[in-house]
Amino acid sequence: MSGISANYYDGQSSKRHAVSIQLDANGMLSIHGDSLSACYPLDEITMAYRIGKRVRMIKLSDGASLEAETTPELDAILDQTKQHKHQGLVHRLESKLKYIVMALLLTIAFAFGFLTWGVPALAKSVAFSLPVETQDYLGEGTMEVFDEYFMQPSKLDKTRQAAIEKRFQALISGLDERDRYELLFRDSEKMGANAFALPSGSIVLTDQFIALAENEKEIDSVLAHEIGHVHFRHSLRGAIQSSSAAVLIALMTGDVASMSSFAATLPTLLVNMNYSRQFETEADNYAKQLMKEKGIEFYHFARILTRLTASHDVADDDDSLNFLSSHPSTKERIKSFQ
Amino acid sequence: MEEENSDTRELSIEFTGSGSEYFGIWIVNILLTILTLGIYTAWAKVRTRKYFYNNTRMDGAIFDYHASPIAILKGWAIVVGVLIVQQVLSSINILYGLGLLLAIMAFIPWAMVRSRVFNLLNTSYRNVRFYFEREYKELYTIFLIAPLPIIVGYGLFFYVAISAESAEVTPDTGIMALAGVFILAGFVLLPYYLHRFYSFIITRSSFGRTPFENCSSAGAFYSIYLKAFGLGLLVGVAMMVVMGVSAGLADVADGVISVIMGVLAFVIYLIGIYYVIYFIEATKLNEIWGKTSIDGNRFISKLEPWGLMWVMLSNTVLIVITLGIYIPWAHVRMTRYRLNHLLIEVTGDMDNYIAKGHKEMGALGAELGDAMDFEISL
């Protein structure tokens, strides 16, 4: 007798019966052991899961069960039951190398796609639906921290400030009414020549930046770029994107470890740098549009950017580091404005 | 039932799963879950459990998991529905959202019990199902009373501090001391309630009709937490010493040595803190399992803090380096380590456990417990 050896449990007690099973000539599953002998029609096999390669657990309609090592003969018998056959598909996906590799690549593609397009799209819709008060609140909070630690009141004389403010008003006249802009002057040795925009619509210029500019049109060109950041709500979107990417990556990689926040930092950093590069490009394109409208030549931005880069001694035009650089290669940006 | 064989033997629990085999199941689960917008989670959960249970082997027999994906899917759908309602309510008025959240929290002990019943009822060994008594009172008692002194203490503290602040007077030291006593008492009582919790979880569980018994004591829990507290102090002292030496050296030696000392202090801190965490985990589980028995057959748990810590931390590092690809191997390693350190001392054979009839039940509690990460695992 060439039966498949298995353990039989009747479901009433934990008693084990060593049995031998086979498919008999009438298509019945026959079970033989020292103390029992039984026959089941195949449709009385109610559950036969197919997971992994070691064992098969077979449930019978009367509550009894069989445990057997997996053999091709056994799978051939079980394949005649509906459930086992249906699961064959998932089981094949789970156990054949080519499907596993395909599943892995598809999953990576989905994760990549979600991080590249899904998260920014979500952040965009959230940023544009947040009430004005929230944006003001976030902007004021950031400004307080900056004023406390990095910046002092501007030492620029009032007439110069008023002149720049006037040009700023001219720049924003005719722009989308829903966007609000505000120009602020600060002195900061620590930040050096710098210009940045906050969620509240505040654009900050440092005295060091004004000193670096050789003419008013250079200042205008940088203001145009910052107006672009405000218009697209970049700082808010950046904050939302980096936190949601961190949550997503922590969910994906951190479910075993208690150090999930640590586990998520490295990939999050890489993803965020990629996001901020996209924002710079977007703001640059906005600036070009605005400069064209207001009759400011592009080369002004190229010149001030060259000097800004030099003043910060940033050597980021090395293409091999391009992915890690938080701005698009400055060389590329300067070239696009010439 | 007469015992044919009265030899006592130690049965080990063997885990036969492999990381590479589980990887296939894991990645297909993730992909199908994405493609079905989450609906496949129910099947994914059953297949994962089934894989781990079917690879857990004791005395030539294997464990099995029987939950129906449809039951889990229904529970999942209800939980997702409640979460959506919660989000919508929050966006209308944050207070509505908070109110619903509080109402959900009131269900946590209920969900823990339901989750335990669902999971044990769907677990079998030698075709005999496990079982958990549906008793909710004890968990509600523990969850309501245990945090009470701490909440009262902190409430009192902040109330007095804030009202003194606004009246610009110094806070009443008597009341502040009372708040301190409440908080301290709350923390001192925690090991007692923790023991009560574990004891409840084990003694309401049964294999067929045979209940698990547990004779662990609250005293042992106090001893574990006292030792952990002592270890924590030791780590603090060691750090202080290193930092003190480094400060002393700063005058005579160059900066490099004090940097090295700084790094050393940080390493001591990191290793020390993790050691304390895994010391608590290992000794607590050893105490609970070591005092658990069924039908006179005693469990033996031999977890070691260093071993547990090594598996856990190396898993974390490998998961980070591989950007998550290592997760299946990490699961398998952890499961194997834990199961290999659990033994059962059996007298005679294990043929005489009688099954108890069971009704299928819904998975709502189990899903709620899962969604809020409250599933009890030992």
CB B28 to CB A9 under 8 A?
no
CA angle, residues B245, B249, B250, in degrees to nearest 5: 120
Return the exposure string of A149-173: e unless at least 16 CB atoms fall within 10 Å of the residue's CB, then b.
Answer: eebeebebeeeebeebeeebeebbe
DSSP one-letter code for B204:
T
Sort out which chain A residues have CB atoms less than 8 A from B23's CB and list them: 100
Are the CB atoms for A262 and B320 separated by under 8 Å? yes
Q: Rounded distance, CA A5 to CA A71, Å?
A: 10
Residue A101 lies in a domain: no
- Say whether residue A110 is in contact with chain B using an 8 A CB cutoff: yes
Minimal Cβ distance to A51: which of B30, B54, B127: B54
pLDDT at B84: 84
Which of A40, A62, A94 is where one domain is finished? A94
At A80 the three-state DSSP class reads coil
Residues A56, A122: one domain?
no
Residue A103 lies in a domain: no
Residues A82, A136: one domain?
no
Residue B17 lies in a domain: no
From the list B152, B233, B210, B237, the residue with the least C-alpha distance to B186 is B152
Beta-carbon contacts of B260 under 8 Å, excluding residues fewer than 6 positions away, are none
Residue B267 lies in a domain: yes
CB B61 to CB A7 under 8 A?
yes
pLDDT at A85: 67
Sort out which chain A residues have CB atoms less than 8 A from B55's CB and list them: 52, 54
Residues B141, B199: one domain?
yes
Which range of residues forms the domain containing residue B158? 136-203
Sort out which chain B residues have CB atoms less than 8 A from A267's CB and list them: 323
State mean pLDDT over B128-154: 90
CB B127 to CB A95 under 8 A?
no
Residues A317, A270: one domain?
yes
The pairing of strands A4-9 and A17-23 is antiparallel
In the predicted structure, residue B340 carries a pLDDT above the cut 50: yes
CA distance, residue A66 to nearest chain B CA (Å): 9
DSSP one-letter code for A126:
H
CA distance, residue B66 to nearest chain A CA (Å): 9
Residue B5 lies in a domain: no
- Say whether residue B271 is in contact with chain A using an 8 A CB cutoff: no
DSSP string, B312-365: HHHHHHHHHHTTTTTHHHHHHHHHHHHHHTEEEEEES-S--PBP-------SHH
Residue B323 lies in a domain: no
The ipTM, to two decimals, is 0.77
Strand partners, A9: A65
CA distance, residue B350 to nearest chain A CA (Å): 7
In chain A, residues 38-57 whose CB comes closer than 8 Å to chain B = 47, 49, 51-55, 57
pLDDT in tens, A184-195: 999 988 778 888
How many domains, in total, are found in chain A? Answer: 2
Residues A264, A319: one domain?
yes
At A16 the three-state DSSP class reads coil
Residues B227, B284: one domain?
yes
pLDDT in tens, B12-40: 999 999 999 999 999 999 899 889 988 88
In the predicted structure, residue B132 carries a pLDDT above the cut 70: yes
Residues A322, A209: one domain?
yes
- Say whether residue B144 is in contact with chain A using an 8 A CB cutoff: no
Are the CB atoms for B95 and B352 separated by under 8 Å? no
In the predicted structure, residue B105 carries a pLDDT above the cut 60: yes
Which of A94, A123, A156 is where one domain is finished? A94
Minimal Cβ distance to B51: which of A52, A63, A256: A52
Minimal Cβ distance to B50: which of A49, A100, A110: A49
Sort out which chain B residues have CB atoms less than 8 A from A107's CB and list them: 27, 30-31, 34
Q: Rounded distance, CA A154 to CA A194, Å?
A: 13
For chain A, 338 residues long, the average pLDDT of each consecutive 10-residue run is 82 89 83 86 74 81 86 80 72 86 91 82 83 76 82 89 90 79 87 82 88 89 90 84 70 46 52 72 89 89 85 50 49 79
Which range of residues forms the domain containing residue A168? 112-336
CA distance, residue B83 to nearest chain A CA (Å): 18
Minimal Cβ distance to A67: which of B16, B62, B330: B62
pLDDT at A262: 47
Q: What token pair was written down for A264?
A: 């998520």
Q: Rounded distance, CA B319 to CA A260, Å?
A: 10
User: Containing H/E element for B294?
Assistant: strand B292-294
Residue B213 lies in a domain: no
- The CATH number of the domain holding residue A76 is 2.30.29.30
CB B126 to CB A103 under 8 A?
no
In chain A, residues 76-105 whose CB comes closer than 8 Å to chain B = 90, 93-95, 99-100, 103-104
Residues A90, A200: one domain?
no
Which of B236, B268, B290 is where one domain is finished? B290
pLDDT at A266: 53
- Say whether residue B142 is in contact with chain A using an 8 A CB cutoff: no
Return the exposure string of B112-143: e unless at least 16 CB atoms fall within 10 Å of the residue's CB, then b.
Answer: bbbbbbbbbbbbbbbbbbbbbeeeeebbeebb
Residues A135, A248: one domain?
yes
pLDDT at B367: 62
CA distance, residue A12 to nearest chain B CA (Å): 5
Residue A48 lies in a domain: yes
CB B350 to CB A14 under 8 A?
yes
Which residue does chain A place closest to B356, by CA atoms?
A12
Q: What token pair was written down for A237?
A: 């979107």
In the predicted structure, residue B369 carries a pLDDT above the cut 90: no
Residues A274, A203: one domain?
yes
CA distance, residue A47 to nearest chain B CA (Å): 9
- For A2, phi then psi, to 5°, come to -105, 55
Sort out which chain A residues have CB atoms less than 8 A from B27's CB and list them: 100, 103-104, 107
Residues A245, A129: one domain?
yes
Substitution target from A13, A31, A36, A133 for chain B, most B beta carbons within 10 A: A13
Which of A47, A67, A94 is where one domain is finished? A94
Which of B258, B290, B322 is where one domain is finished? B290
Which residue does chain A place closest to B328, by CA atoms?
A256
pLDDT at A321: 37
CA angle, residues A115, A118, A124, in degrees to nearest 5: 110
Residues A120, A220: one domain?
yes
- Say whether residue A107 is in contact with chain B using an 8 A CB cutoff: yes
In the predicted structure, residue B216 carries a pLDDT above the cut 60: yes
Residue A124 lies in a domain: yes
How many domains, in total, are found in chain B? Answer: 2
Residues A76, A181: one domain?
no
pLDDT at B365: 61
Residue B115 lies in a domain: no
Residue B157 lies in a domain: yes
C-alpha A42, offset from chain centre: 49
Residues A285, A247: one domain?
yes
CB A257 to CB B312 under 8 A?
yes
Q: What token pair was written down for B355?
A: 């099954």
- Say whether residue A258 is in contact with chain B using an 8 A CB cutoff: yes
pLDDT > 90 fraction of chain B, expressed in percent and rounded: 41
Residue A198 lies in a domain: yes
DSSP string, A265-296: HHHHHHHHHHHHHHHHHHHHHHHHHHHHHHT-
Minimal Cβ distance to B34: which of A67, A110, A254: A110
Q: Rounded distance, CA A56 to CA B58, Å?
A: 16
CB B319 to CB A7 under 8 A?
no
pLDDT > 70 fraction of chain B, expressed in percent and rounded: 91
The mean pLDDT value of chain B amounts to 85
Which of B174, B203, B232 is where one domain is finished? B203
- Say whether residue B37 is in contact with chain A using an 8 A CB cutoff: no
Residue B59 lies in a domain: no
Residue A320 lies in a domain: yes
- Say whether residue B34 is in contact with chain A using an 8 A CB cutoff: yes
Residues B141, B195: one domain?
yes
pLDDT in tens, B182-214: 999 999 999 999 999 999 999 999 998 899 999
User: Containing H/E element for B242?
Assistant: helix B218-252
